[in-house]
Structure 1
Amino acid sequence: MSTLEERTVADVVTENIKAAHIFKKHGIDFCCGGGISIKRACEKAKIDPSVLIGELQNLNSTPDRALDYNSWKLDFLADHIVNVHHHYVEENSPLLLQYAKRVNHVHGGHYTELAEIEELVIKLVQAMAGHQRKEELILFPFIKKLVKAEAEGTEVPSTHFGSVENPIHMMEEEHEEAGNYLKRISELSNGFTPPQGACNTYRAFFAKLDEFEQDLHQHIHLENNILFPKALKLEKTLQSN
């Protein structure tokens, strides 16, 4: 048990994606804040580590092959992130903006927090749009070049940004920013809980925010904890050959 306590949250989720649901249930950040030990995460969340560890130990020790992202090739994983998570953000951002504007317009007089929520949704959508463009046009194509260089035994391709560490650092900072927007929205909305008697649009808005956050956590986990560390390692390996 003590060994599991000292492992990082990110490592456990990377090994078995099903663990993400347990951390989510206990309010533990497994994406941006996943670099700390389970013991420390439990201290911050004020929960008994033995309870969390018991649940983790009851998970199926063999991850679902379809979700074993840690075994995927980096170019394939990058494409998956674009096709699944980037597409989700692009498809749902306009809907979030419409919901935020409508609900604030109709109910903002009684629920004054809705004005700040709408403002945060606008910032979140704008931030994610620019962030994903940079990944698709700059970072991910370079990661694919690293994969190709390894396969063909050629040198690391030259870039205008130097090491892959530079754009990765920028992307991680932007992940933190997006996560903070959603964290504040969650605080203002009592964990995306609509008030009693809320209309269907109000309820749909908060349900979509909750769904958006869950997708973002998975999205950031795949990048921060799997794609980015492996890309850094691959670049170093190629440079040393």
Structure 2
Amino acid sequence: MNTLQTKTVGQMVTENIKTAHIFKKYNIDFCCGGGISIQKACERANVSFDDLASDLQNLDQPKSRATDYNNWDLDFLIDHIINIHHRYVEENILMLVQYGTKVAKVHGERHPELLKIQELFAMVATELSGHLRKEELILFPFIKKMLQAKKENTSLARPQFGKVDHPIKMMEVEHEEAGAILKKIAKLSNNYTPPEGACNTYRAFFSKLDEFEQDLHQHVHLENNILFPKALQLEKTIQYFE
């Protein structure tokens, strides 16, 4: 029998806290209900053991992704940002809100900083949700229009926002605001260090917050340091008609 089938959910999470996020994805209780085997947990949750086992086994596998972002075509870079980083934010916000609510409810009296962390993450979640929509509906499509105009040597209608630096400046300000909130969360959580004896949900919450901040750093780097400067240079090659 596969060792994963006999190992308990709690054992798996204790060995690697990141596995908690996989169990959460499949609606398997890894905290209070962590004493049963992974096989039994799958049966109770009516989920495929093979699917869950595949996710667990691939959890720490390095992703073979080219990293020479500076030489990527801008339209490809935009698609990468959306498919990797925007989707990551969207897929993990709800999980973090659920973790935060549960941990604050159970441990908030002894650790009041959790209530503030919960409040701050709700703020960053709201800000990022609106931020991603503005990029996907306004800024990114316009950058792609500029790319097409350059390729075809045609002119573009001037956008309602005037010049591309206007939405870019707005996005950069919002990046700074989100980053500042996450810095406050990091400080309140002692750099995502759970207290001694913390339960698995508590540990999973801090682990995921740490991962979320690291992903945002990469996300913002790709936009602020590569995409946005190149979009500003691209605009200089574009002719507008009124």
**TM-score of the superposed pair, with normalisation by structure 2:** 0.71
Q: Structure 2: which amino acid aligns with 1:132?
A: L
For residues 96 and 65 of structure 1, what CA distance do their matches in structure 2 show? 26
- Indicate if the aligned counterparts of 1:146 and 1:157 stay in contact, CA closer than 8 A: no
Query: 2:216 and 2:106 mapped to 1: Cα distance?
Result: 28
Q: Partner of 1:92: helix, strand, or coil?
A: helix
Give the whole-Å Cα distance in 2 for the aligned partners of 1:158 and 1:145: 11
Q: Return the alpha-carbon distance in structure 2 between the equivalents of residues 108 and 128 of structure 1.
A: 25
Distance 1:120 1:139 in 2: 27
Alignment of 1:47-196 (within 5 A): 66-196=66-196
Distance in 1 separating the partners of 2:157 and 2:69: 26
Alignment partner, residue 12 of structure 2: none
Using the TM superposition, give the Cα deviation of residue 237 of structure 1 relative to its aligned residue in structure 2, in angstroms. 2.3
Counterpart residue identity of residue 128, structure 1: L
TM-score (norm 1): 0.72
Letter in 1 for 2:79: D
- Superimposed CA distance per residue, residues 54-104 of structure 1 (whole angstroms, 9 cap, x where no aligned partner): xxxxxxxxxx98110000111111111000000000000000000111100
Q: Is the 8 A contact 2:90 2:129 kept in 1?
A: yes
Contact 2:150/2:237 (CA < 8 Å) preserved in 1? no
Instruction: Determine the C-alpha separation between the residues in 2 that align with 1:65 and 1:151.
Output: 27
Consecutive unaligned residues of structure 1, counting only runs of 5 or more, are: 1-63
C-alpha distance after superposition, 1:122-168 (max 9, x if no partner): 00111110000000000000000010011000113321100000000
Give the Cα–Cα distance (whole angstroms) in 2 for the partners of residues 188 and 219 of structure 1. 23
Residue 80 to residue 157, structure 1, CA distance change in 2 (3 Å): farther
Q: Distance in 1 between matches of 2:156 and 2:127?
A: 30
* Contact 1:99/1:205 (8 A) holds in 2: yes
Contact 1:145 1:157 in 2 (8 A): no
Take 1:157 and 1:186, find their aligned partners in 2: how far apart are those partners? 44
What is the CA-CA distance between 1:239 and the residue it aligns to? 4.1
Partner of 1:211: 211
> For the residues of structure 1 that align with 2:96 and 2:167, how far apart are their CA atoms?
28
Q: RMSD value over aligned CA atoms? A: 1.4
Paired with 1:143 and 1:92, the residues of 2 have a C-alpha distance of 27
User: Does the CA-based 8 Å contact 2:146-2:235 persist in structure 1?
Assistant: yes
SS at match of 1:238: coil
SS in 2 for 1:198: coil
* Matched-pair contact (CA < 8 Å) for 2:101–2:118: yes
Q: What amino acid sits opposite 1:227 in the alignment?
A: L
Please tell me the residue identity of whatever aligns with 1:197: G
Mapped to 1, the partners of 2:65 and 2:120 lie a distance apart of 37
Q: Partners of 2:137 and 2:231 in 1: how far apart?
A: 16
- Paired positions, count: 177
**Equivalents in 2 of 1:109, 1:226: separation in Å?**
44
Larger Rg: 2
